[in-house]
Amino acid sequence: MDSVADGEAAERRERDPDYLRAAVEESFFLAVGAAWYWIDRDKNAVDWDFDSWTQRFDRSAFRFDNNRFQVNWIFHPFAGSSYYGFARANELHAGWAFAYTFLTSFLWEWLLEFKERVSINDQIATPVGGMALGEFWTKLSWWLHHRGTTPARSAAAWTLGLGVRAHQAIDGEGPEAAALAGMHARFRLNLGASVVLDGHAPDVVGTVGFEGRIVDLRGWHRDGTFSRRFGDANFASLRGSAGLGESGGSFALEADTLVAGFHAQALRGDLATAPGVLPGAVYGASATVAAAIGYSYRRTDYGGYGERLGVIHLPGFGFESVLAHGLTRLRFSLRGHGDFASADVDGAYQRWADAHPDARTKTILERESYFYGWGASARIGLELEVGRFHTGVRAAVGQWWSHEGLDRTQEAVTDDVEAVARRVAIDHWARVELPRGLHVEARYQELRRRDRVGAEQVGERRLRRVGIAVGITR
């Protein structure tokens, strides 16, 4: 078996990293943010904690904030993805892009917002969530740039891939076919309907879903035998879904990135076939082991089931393998992470608050009914493909414990009660691939939550959905 060192992704690079321009662009983000911060002074002043800039040097300056859930778990990770994406668009290595993202976030929190406490949660969610999200957007930008041969793709390159496309236009460099040699992309879009089985009554919900994966590793799942190290965040995935019905709606977003690791394969035939093409016979196996990071956001409100959950999957373990024999493939994936998370505990907290009317606890619990904490999660997936028929199951489990002692107004807390959230999710599907990249699929999903606030107050909830969808793969 041939062994190849890291550096295959670098073959795609068309120019050297531009560290200076990346720094200038990050400074521009800070300048725009600072202008907004002071123009909208009256609104932002409600979060001011300090009278003097010198108070930034005290340990008490570093606390968890008490902002709204979507601000902490949508705005900040997406802002981080912009910082990260523009650094990557300047051809910086993933490690350097993360460093730029972290520094930009820190300067914003510590220097420009000098009248506020430094938000610990933002310092985690912005750079790590930004990298997990931003790596997919960056790879999509490169892919769209090099494939922008139609008006639709060119428009997408200037919107979804603005950083890369703008830099390429400024530098006067056009697409090169050779740049795609190591890049494989697969996107799936679904439209359908599902029935929510739990709640006040069954509810029919319209659904939309997206899955995308981009691998930047020469020879990946092509005919051949080799082993290869990688270290430039070469595997990036993004999965999103939304639903809307009479009883409520849902939105979920999940990003996964394999940052550095090792890939080996021994294949006779191509696993990476074009969408809609009946796969040919393939024999052999592949395996990838890597350090992985991730980001998850979920907001659901269907009748009797409500949920707000945001998770930063800290560097952990990632493993993937494929076994192929003829027209049959068996795919397996595993992730294991330590996590930083926020989870709502609405029901359990309200019962605790009713039982302790005179207690003052974390302001994030009192104001928003969620907590910041640490924990662990694992995800496992198994998929069987036989020709055009695919079936699989994906299970995820996580548990998170609140962090005590660092509330924004910790000095006023009289009962720093512990909160715990546990979540189990199962997703099973069966899919038939049709010609021209079309497919039809049936899906069953089950979510279970168990929350605890204090020693006794426990809340449990469950959601089951059955659905069908049609879609297209590209």
Neighbour count for residue 272 (Cβ, 10 Å): 15
CB 109 within 8 Å of CB 102: no
Neighbour count for residue 388 (Cβ, 10 Å): 15
Would you state the structure tokens that stand for residue 383, as one six-digit string? 């998929």
Pairing status of strand 183-196 against strand 203-216: antiparallel
Distance CA 258, CA 85 (A): 16
List b or e across 62-98, with b for residues whose CB sees 16 or more CB atoms inside 10 angstroms: ebbbbbebeebbbebbbbbbbbbbbbbbbbbbbebbb
**pTM passes above 0.75:** yes
Neighbour count for residue 435 (Cβ, 10 Å): 9
What pLDDT is attached to residue 2?
A: 44
Distance CA 148, CA 158 (A): 10
What pLDDT is attached to residue 13?
A: 52
What pLDDT is attached to residue 7?
A: 44
List b or e across 141-167, with b for residues whose CB sees 16 or more CB atoms inside 10 angstroms: bbbbbbbbeeeebeebbbeebbbbbeb
CA distances from 252 to 77, 103, 208, 210, 343 (A): 14, 28, 11, 10, 14
- DSSP annotation of 378: E
What pLDDT is attached to residue 10?
A: 43
What pLDDT is attached to residue 4?
A: 45
- DSSP annotation of 403: P
What pLDDT is attached to residue 457?
A: 75
What pLDDT is attached to residue 48?
A: 60
What pLDDT is attached to residue 53?
A: 65
What pLDDT is attached to residue 176?
A: 54
Mean pLDDT by 10 residues, the chain (474 residues): 45 73 91 77 59 69 90 94 93 96 91 80 96 94 75 73 77 58 87 84 89 94 94 97 91 98 95 66 95 97 88 98 95 98 93 92 93 98 95 98 92 94 97 93 95 86 94 92
What pLDDT is attached to residue 158?
A: 73
First to last CA, the chain: 32
What pLDDT is attached to residue 233?
A: 97
